[in-house]
Chain A
Amino acid sequence: AQSVTQPDIHITVSEGASLELRCNYSYGATPYLFWYVQSPGQGLQLLLKYFSGDTLVQGIKGFEAEFKRSQSSFNLRKPSVHWSDAAEYFCAVAPPQGGSEKLVFGKGTKLTVNP
């Protein structure tokens, strides 16, 4: 069964510092990959997604993610974090042959931003 691992439960960075959130998946074929962000008490907002093609994906709010097949990873990055980026981030994976109901979420990484 496919699974998604976000190794870091909680990360703290200073405002203006760079950020990398890790995501690893376990699946035979290259899946579809997503990153979502959730502010406290809110729904999830899609940051970016990877289906195929260029392995470096640009998203909203200045985020990007890089798909590395050899490492089964899809890490999220931002060069300079803003205080408004404080939220919880979820990586999600779906099989390439279809089946949106098979979307599997990681357990999330909570980001704290220090002034």
Chain B
Amino acid sequence: DGGITQSPKYLFRKEGQNVTLSCEQNLNHDAMYWYRQDPGQGLRLIYYSQIVNDFQKGDIAEGYSVSREKKESFPLTVTSAQKNPTAFYLCASSILLGIGADTQYFGPGTRLTVL
């Protein structure tokens, strides 16, 4: 079945440590996105990538980094510079139709807790 997988589902980290969240898709989508979700805040865009080896900052990129070495994979690193990293992180992907907005499809999410 085609879809988006995120791992791990739950992640615990000590303050001062970097941690990497995995996102893989087998939908052959060009674009991938990372969102952060906090209670009552909706979703906020962290980074997005429209093509391999290229990515752009979203609205809240500070304290995060990404890479896009393969079309299928878009890992997110939460660095120690992120002041409040405890949140639910969602990865999404979409086909780039080139006309209008594309429909984004979401993975199951990773809940990160900083101890």
Interface members, chain A 15-56 (any B CB < 8 Å): 31-32, 34, 36, 41-46, 49, 51
Count residues on chain A whose CB falls below 8 Å from chain B CBs. Answer: 28
Which one of B12-20, B35-43, B67-75, B76-84 is at the interface?
Answer: B35-43
Contacts of A101 in B (CB 8 A): 31, 33, 45, 48, 50, 56, 58
Most chain A CB inside 10 Å of its own CB: which residue of B92, B101, B104: B101
Contacts of B100 in A (CB 8 A): 32, 51, 94, 96-98
Which one of A62-70, A76-84, A105-113 is at the interface?
Answer: A105-113
Contacts of B56 in A (CB 8 A): 101
Q: Are A32 and B40 touching (Cβ within 8 A)?
A: no
With A41-B111, A42-B108, A43-B90 known as contacts, the answer to whether A100 contacts B101 (CB < 8 A) is yes
Count residues on chain B whose CB falls below 8 Å from chain A CBs. Answer: 30
> Does A90 touch B at the CB level, under 8 Å?
yes
Q: Residue-by-residue, is B77-115 near A (CB-CB < 8 Å gives 1, otherwise 0)?
A: 000000000000010101010111111111111010000
Known: A41-B111, A106-B42, A107-B42. 19 other contacts (CB 8 A): A31-B101, A32-B101, A34-B103, A43-B4, A43-B6, A43-B108, A44-B92, A45-B106, A49-B103, A51-B100, A94-B100, A96-B100, A98-B99, A100-B48, A100-B94, A100-B102, A101-B56, A101-B58, A108-B40
- 9 CB contacts below 8 A, A to B, read A31-B101, A41-B111, A43-B6, A43-B90, A43-B107, A90-B43, A100-B33, A103-B101, A107-B42
Contact residues of B with A, CB < 8 Å?
4, 6, 31, 33, 40-43, 45, 48, 50, 56, 58, 90, 92, 94, 96, 98-109, 111
